[in-house]
A and B are shown apart, each in its own frame.
Chain A
Amino acid sequence: QKEVEQNSGPLSVPEGAIASLNCTYSDRGSQSFFWYRQYSGKSPELIMSIYSNGDKEDGRFTAQLNKASQYVSLLIRDSQPSDSATYLCAVNGWILTGGGNKLTFGTGTQLKVEL
């Protein structure tokens, strides 16, 4: 059973601080990793993808991947109240017949950015 683990939170950070969201996964063969943001009552929205060890930056967001430790994280700099949402980590398990990507999702970490 391929698993993706996230702390459910809530993770509370003050406005302007760095929020650090963590995710561990069980399948050593996983090759692609995704972070989605989900506001309450809404559908998940892609924030970032990462495929190689190290850091990948996009604006205020930085994804970090360590395949040896089976660990992926998302850093949000200068956190804003609008960042308050649930963040889902998704890890690819295998390639589906025909080419699609089988993703396993964590249950998400709730982030609250306080004024």
Chain B
Amino acid sequence: SQTIHQWPATLVQPVGSPLSLECTVEGTSNPNLYWYRQAAGRGLQLLFYSVGIGQISSEVPQNLSASRPQDRQFILSSKKLLLSDSGFYLCAWSVGQGTTDTQYFGPGTRLTVL
């Protein structure tokens, strides 16, 4: 069966500091990978998605970036965090194509920027 891991689980960072969040998937090959952010009282916002190694698409322009150095590894980064970057960051995976492609979420990282 497939398993998705995210770390760290929680993170408190000062404004202006760098960020690196990691997501790994086990039990599947060539998954689609997604990064979402959930801010308090708001719906999930898609930040980045990837359909393969080195293939990253950005949905929302901001000070975040993503990379996929390995088939089942997805990394979310920032060089300088803003207060508005606080939120619950969720990685998701899927292996389908088209409209029936179904996404499954990891446990998430709760980021607080002070």
Q: Is A70 an interface residue (CB 8 A)?
A: no
Chain B 77-112 interface mask (CB, 8 Å, partner A; 1/0): 000000000001010001011111111111110100
Q: Is the CB of B43 within 8 A of A99?
A: no
- B41 CB, min distance to chain A CBs, angstroms: 7
Q: How many residues from A make CB contacts under 8 Å with B?
A: 30
Residue numbers in A under 8 Å from B99 (CB-CB): 31-32, 51, 92, 95, 101
Q: Which residues of chain B in 39-64 are interfacial with respect to chain A, using CB atoms and an 8 Å cutoff? A: 41-44, 46, 49, 51-52, 55, 57
Chain A 85-115 interface mask (CB, 8 Å, partner B; 1/0): 0001010100111111111111110000000
- B77 CB, min distance to chain A CBs, angstroms: 20
Closest to B41 in A: A107
Q: Is B24 an interface residue (CB 8 A)?
A: no
Q: In the docked arrangement, what's the CA distance between A107 and B39, Å?
A: 10
Q: In the docked arrangement, what's the CA distance between A92 and B96, Å?
A: 13
Q: Which residues of chain B in 17-37 are interfacial with respect to chain A, using CB atoms and an 8 Å cutoff? A: 32, 34
- B51 CB, min distance to chain A CBs, angstroms: 3
Q: In the docked arrangement, what's the CA distance between A98 and B95, Å?
A: 11
Residue numbers in B under 8 Å from A32 (CB-CB): 99-101
Query: Which stretch from A10-18, A37-45, A55-63, A72-80 is at the chain B interface?
Result: A37-45
- B83 CB, min distance to chain A CBs, angstroms: 21
Q: Is the CB of B42 within 8 A of A95?
A: no
Among B34, B42, B110, point to the contact of A100 (Cβ < 8 A).
B34
- B31 CB, min distance to chain A CBs, angstroms: 10
Residue numbers in A under 8 Å from B110 (CB-CB): 41
Q: Is the CB of A105 within 8 A of B57?
A: no
Residues of A near any B CB (own CB < 8 A): 4, 31-32, 34, 36, 41-46, 49, 51, 88, 90, 92, 95-108
